[in-house]
């Protein structure tokens, strides 16, 4: 499982509240990614990081921000959650291939 | 940006038969093409990948072929078994070759493979 954990694994929140998802890796990988998965859309890249404090936007970055202050942690923040951000969020790392964490199921009511 | 099309969206085959899933990509700079298997409620798992300097790669019952000229690649599963039932995703990237790049993967929308007993 490439040493990737995500927390929380499930979260229910209300529209307008801030939410932070955490991805933690234990194998010192440089590249980390956040994807969201929705029915009919597959997996779409939100943001990625290529090192500590180095991040960039992906395909669906509106409404999301990220931070990476340590190699092992990559945080995804929804500043003001909306119902359209109800999704399953996967963190991933790049090693010899791209490997995914277990996912976080987020419901915004 | 890159666009990946995947077909079919659903594929039903008899146990023991072969299954083929096809993907096309738009960016000729793409050089890395992985395939993922995702069971219900689980994370996508990398099952096989191919880089642009190779035309075919096999791993036991699964194989991937790549046609760079036509910009398409395919997943072949032979002697299908019930445990092959899952959703399969193809993806493409311009940044994976030789370990370089950080721009992530662009995914197809997935194929639901059903193995009929």
Residue B100 confidence (pLDDT): 42
For residue B14, what are its two tokens? Answer: 């008899």
| Best CA proximity match to B49, nearest among A49, A104, A95, A65 | A95
Residue B48 confidence (pLDDT): 96
Residue B65 confidence (pLDDT): 97
Per-residue burial over A56-93, b if 16 or more Cβ lie within 10 Å, else e, is: eebebbeebebbbeeebebbbebeebeeebbbbbbbbb
Residue B53 confidence (pLDDT): 83
- A-chain CB neighbours of B87 within 8 Å are none
Residue A72 confidence (pLDDT): 97
Say if residue B56 is preceded by a cis peptide, omega within 30 of 0: no
Compute the distance between CA of residue A42 and CA of residue A6 in angstroms, rounded to an integer. Answer: 20
Residue A95 confidence (pLDDT): 87
Q: How many CB atoms lie within 10 A of CB A96?
A: 10
Average pLDDT rounded to a whole number, residues A26-55: 93
Q: Is B46 on the interface with A (CB under 8 A)?
A: yes
Residue A14 confidence (pLDDT): 97
- Residue of B10, B47, B96, B104 for testing the chain A interface, max A β-carbons within 10 Å: B104
Whether the CB-CB separation of B25 and B3 falls below 8 Å is answered with: yes
Alpha carbons within 13 A on the beta-carbon side of B80: 21
How do residues B26-71 score in pLDDT, each as one tens digit?
999 899 999 999 999 999 999 999 998 889 999 999 999 999 999 9
- Residue of A42, A90, A97 for testing the chain B interface, max B β-carbons within 10 Å: A42
Residue B102 confidence (pLDDT): 59
Give chain A's mean pLDDT: 95
Q: Is B5 on the interface with A (CB under 8 A)?
A: no
How do residues B60-108 score in pLDDT, each as one tens digit?
999 999 999 999 999 999 999 999 999 999 999 987 554 445 578 999 9
- B-chain CB neighbours of A94 within 8 Å are 96, 102
């Amino acid at each position: 499982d490439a040493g990737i954990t995500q927390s929380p694994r499930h979260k229910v929140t209300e529209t307008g509240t801030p939410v932070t998802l955490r991805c933690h890796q234990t194998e010192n990988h440089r590249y980390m990614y956040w994807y969201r998965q929705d029915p009919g859309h597959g997996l779409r890249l939100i943001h990625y990081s290529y090192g500590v404090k180095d991040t960039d936007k992906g395909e669906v970055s509106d409404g999301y921000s990220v931070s990476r202050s340590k190699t092992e942690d990559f945080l995804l923040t929804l500043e003001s959650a909306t119902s359209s951000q109800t999704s399953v969020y996967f963190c991933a790392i790049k090693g010899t291939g791209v490997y995914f964490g277990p996912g976080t199921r987020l419901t915004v009511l | 940006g890159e666009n990946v099309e995947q077909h079919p969206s659903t594929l039903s085959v008899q146990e023991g038969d072969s299954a083929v899933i096809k993907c096309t990509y738009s960016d000729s700079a793409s050089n890395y093409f992985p395939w993922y298997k995702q069971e219900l409620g689980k994370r996508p798992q990398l099952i096989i990948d191919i880089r642009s300097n190779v035309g075919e790669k096999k791993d036991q019952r699964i194989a991937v072929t790549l046609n760079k000229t036509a910009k398409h690649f395919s997943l072949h599963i032979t002697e299908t078994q019930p445990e092959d039932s899952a959703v399969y995703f193809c993806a493409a990237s311009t940044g994976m070759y030789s370990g370089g790049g950080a721009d992530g993967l662009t995914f197809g929308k997935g194929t639901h493979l059903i193995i009929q007993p």
